[in-house]
Amino acid sequence: MVPIGHQPILWHVMQYYSQHGHHDFILCLGYKANVIKDYFLNYKQTANSDFIISDFGKKVDILGGRPPELAHYAGRHRPPGAISASDSWRSDISSSMRRSSLANYSDGLSDAPLLEMIDRFKKSGKIGCFIAIHPPISFHLAEFE
């Protein structure tokens, strides 16, 4: 939840996806879940979105998306991004993943051409795609078989 300007990095990452037409988010929470939950549970959408006020302030129409769904996973031995939810919710997620889903495990921002990358992936016929940069120092490991 480190801020860039007045918003946390997470908010900026979500804005990046939203600008490319992806508006539904599921946040899989672990460490410091309470901080992220607090941010979105007390989210003031009018402070982060454009809106139209009419009827002398009686009616407010917010232009933009809604806050994301939050899925909290418990335990230290679960992998980052692990989902712990009801079977029906998992079924909904599984169904949407067949259509195409994007996942982001980062605390950084990108200006990568998302729509071009998705199109290239779809044309590849593969079942998954992993996009990364080669940082000068890394503490992560990605293993492929």
Q: Is the pLDDT of residue 48 over 80?
A: no
Query: What would the pLDDT profile of 56-92 be if each residue is shown by its tens digit?
Result: 989 988 876 566 665 555 444 444 444 444 444 455 5
Question: Which superfamily is assigned to 3-124 in CATH?
Answer: Spore Coat Polysaccharide Biosynthesis Protein SpsA; Chain A (3.90.550.10)
Residue 103 contacts by C-beta under 8 Å, 6 or more apart in sequence? 81
* pTM recorded for the entire structure: 0.63
Query: What would the pLDDT profile of 98-144 be if each residue is shown by its tens digit?
Result: 566 788 877 777 888 889 988 998 899 888 887 777 767 666 666 77
The amino acid sitting at 83 is: I
Q: Is the pLDDT of residue 39 over 70?
A: yes
- Which residue has better confidence, 55 or 128? 55
Which of helix, strand or coil describes residue 140? Answer: coil
83/28 Cα distance (integer angstroms): 6
